[in-house]
Amino acid sequence: MLRKAIYALLSVMFAMAAFDSVQAQGGTERLTIDVKPSMKALDLIRQLRSKNLIPSGGSRQLSVPRTVINVRNEGFWYFPIGRGTSLRDYVLHFEMRGQELPGKTNGCGMAFRIVSKDDFSYVMLTRDRRIVLVQRDRGENIVEFDKVIDELEGFDATNYELDSSQLHLITIIAYGNELTLFLNGVEITRETTARSVRGRFATMLFNQEGNRSNTECRYSNIFAWSLQ
């Protein structure tokens, strides 16, 4: 339902100085970074450079201290940020809280590399404990990661909730044909079938069908560091 709503509306509207690792089941490991609320962009960039996950150079091209999405109507909503800033390869970081999510499948997230109604990427957390990373390329999904957080090996979801009590820190490396996603400093996935395109940014909210209660997502410390 979530993906269908996103596609439909877009069609209409047109950590530490070095990395540690988390031991996962089966002997695999997840990279971790030291992320903190209100962290500075350069502190994160230096960490990612230290393990050659991103090249040297670049600069911060997007900075939004805070913003809020607040709706009562059902469906998917997105709100452009950055005054039309359009980037190709970069590190995107933001802090996000599900302030009011009365519906079971309600979610908060961020869209990026937005080119057109059929060419965009997004990351989203939902109240029913899913994490989604998608790139839609000229009408087809070339990246489609959709997992229940509790089922992720190597990620401790014991105290995880998408609600007003928890601030979630999300980091995305969009570089060439790779999208690497970190949630609260833990690498969740590295997708290698992406396409590097120049696009815009928007915050996102999904309000499930039938829910007319107030639905609100809050964002802070949004920044994008261009890698070009």
Q: What is the average pLDDT across 62-70?
A: 96
Q: Residue 15's pLDDT is what?
A: 29
Give percent above pLDDT 90 in the chain: 71
Q: Residues 161-185, buried b or exposed e (16+ Cβ, 10 A)?
A: ebeeeeebbbbbbbbeebbbbbbbb
- Report pLDDT digits (tens) over 147-176: 999 999 989 999 999 999 999 999 999 999
| pLDDT at position 4 over 90 | no
What is the rounded CA–CA span in Å between residue 90 and residue 67? 21
User: In angstroms, rounded to a whole number, what is the distance separating the alpha carbons of residues 46 and 43?
Assistant: 5
User: Tell me: the pLDDT tens digits for 117-137?
Assistant: 899 999 999 999 999 999 999
> What domains, with CATH codes, occur in the chain?
2-14+57-226 (2.60.120.560)
Task: Write the pLDDT tens digit of every residue in 74-95.
Answer: 888 989 999 999 999 999 999 9
